Amino acid sequence: MRKNFFLKHGNSLLMILLCLAGMSVWAQPAALPQAVVSAHTLYVENETGFAELQYVTILELNKWGHFDLAESREKADLILRLDNGTHVRVVPEGEVPSSASSVSAESAVPAGYTRIGLLDPKTGQLLWSDVHKTEGGKVRSGHLLDGLREAFHSYEKGKR
């Protein structure tokens, strides 16, 4: 009887386990690269269209006290970019806009979320990112920078 149960439902159980494992990987922010760990200043760039999210970010950064805010991109060690995946750009007359298929998987942000990305100010390379549930300009469940603080906490814990 037991053998028949696993034969009948084994594939379903395996799929459930794989989905749960994938969800836990997706929910955990990536490890911090050395450039992020050694940074002291951030410049906040808001590409969400919601000023409220920038205000929340600055308030959280000031409360946390880990980084100083830079006056410009040029004076920053890192760029903290808020992004919800909706970009509008001007296409010159006569030029054909690129197709949605050319957008990389890395740039995709799930609907109802905001990506918090740390970028190298010189190269624009994404060094670290996390997503947080938002609804327009409002943060849902917790704080917008919880993933970043947790990544630093995990880094410090791993050093010991």
Digit-coded pLDDT (tens) for 63-112: 999 999 999 999 999 999 999 977 555 567 777 655 443 334 456 899 99
Containing domain of residue 9, as a range?
A: 1-29
Cα separation, 66 vs 56, whole angstroms: 16
CATH number reported for the structural domain that contains residue 119 in this entry: 3.40.50
Same domain, 79 and 2: no
Cut 0.85: pTM above it: no
Question: Based on the structure, what is the number of domains in the chain?
Answer: 2
- 93 found inside a domain: no
Question: Are 38 and 25 in a shared domain?
Answer: no
Tell whether 67 and 115 lie within a shared domain. yes
Residue 41 has pLDDT above 50, yes or no: yes
Q: Of 92, 91, 126, 89, nearest to 109 (Cα)?
A: 126
65 φ/ψ angles, rounded to the nearest 5 degrees:
80, 10
Over residues 137-141, mean pLDDT: 90
Question: What number of residues does the chain have?
Answer: 160
